[in-house]
Structure 1
Amino acid sequence: MNTCQECGSVLVGRADKKFCSDMCRNAYNNKLNSDTYNVVRNTNNQLRRNRRILEELCPEDKAKTTRNTLNAKGFDFTLMTSQRVTQKGSVYYFVYDYGYLELDNDFFLIVKDSRG
């Protein structure tokens, strides 16, 4: 006798049935995937926060700021969406359409990508 994987009630119907209702199936899968969804959601939230910080500090095409300013606003340097290496070997780290380049003395150049 098969029972529902979510609530344990007896299943009636097909031999390979796993859940008694759509509600139980959804609840089971939501629990199963919640850790994965939390990681993705938290990462996306921090990426959006990083982008908002860069956008706020760079109202034009370019701006300079300091590491202290970025840290104070909650910027996470470990998360980015892409990197671009210049011909001179400098590395710009991008968060969607805003990039930053580390300069000397904890200064950063922020740029807005003009590629649209």
Structure 2
Amino acid sequence: MKDIRICLNPVCDRLVLGRSDKKYCCDGCRSAHYNDTKQEKKSDPLKRILKFQENNRDILREIFEKNEGKAIVSKSYLIGLGFNFMYHTHFMLTYKRKFLQCSFDYAIRVIDDYLVEVCRSIDDGPNSKLN
């Protein structure tokens, strides 16, 4: 049985296919990881965190817009797209006491151990769809 390998680029987390000594899923990830590690010593840690947060926001925006509103997706699907649950901008409690983990203006609400709801975080209020 072949070993399952994951791309060494920390933002990617895709499976690596091909040669047994291959470390990255594509040239873009190899280059990005090299540039990140090269600049990591020089860069501000806040910039690195912001990069993860922006990536999370872009993923949520894409899912939200593709589904024309709220969408329910699996956590594994988000992870497959590169979403990192450890990075977020803030937490929010909606009018109806729903707890949201926000990435700027988009948010996820945990439904159960496997599913999350993707929604907008700025719609909080008595007349919002988050009620």
TM-score tier by shorter-chain length is: 0.5 to 0.7
Structure with the largest fraction of helix: 1
Distance 1:86 1:77 in 2: 20
Residue identity over aligned pairs, in percent, reads 22
2:55 maps to 49
- Aligned CA RMSD, in angstroms, stands at 2.1
How many residues are aligned here? Answer: 82
In the alignment, structure 1 segments of 5+ residues that lack a partner are 1-33
* The one of 44, 47, 58 aligned to 1:38: 44
- Which structure 2 residue ranges, 5 or more long, are not aligned? 1-39, 124-131
Distance 1:47 1:75 in 2: 9
- Whether the 8 Å CA contact 2:106–2:122 is kept in 1: the answer is no
User: What secondary structure is seen at the aligned counterpart in 1 of 2:47?
Assistant: helix
* Alignment-derived partner of residue 16 in structure 1: none
Aligned: 1:110 with 2:127: no
Greater C-alpha Rg: 1
Q: Counterparts of 1:95 and 1:66 in 2: how far apart (Å)? A: 17
1:97 to 2:101 alignment: no
Corresponding position of 1:21: none
CA distance in 2, matches of 1:36, 1:88: 45
| 2:100 aligned with 1:78 | no
TM-score scaled by structure 2? 0.55
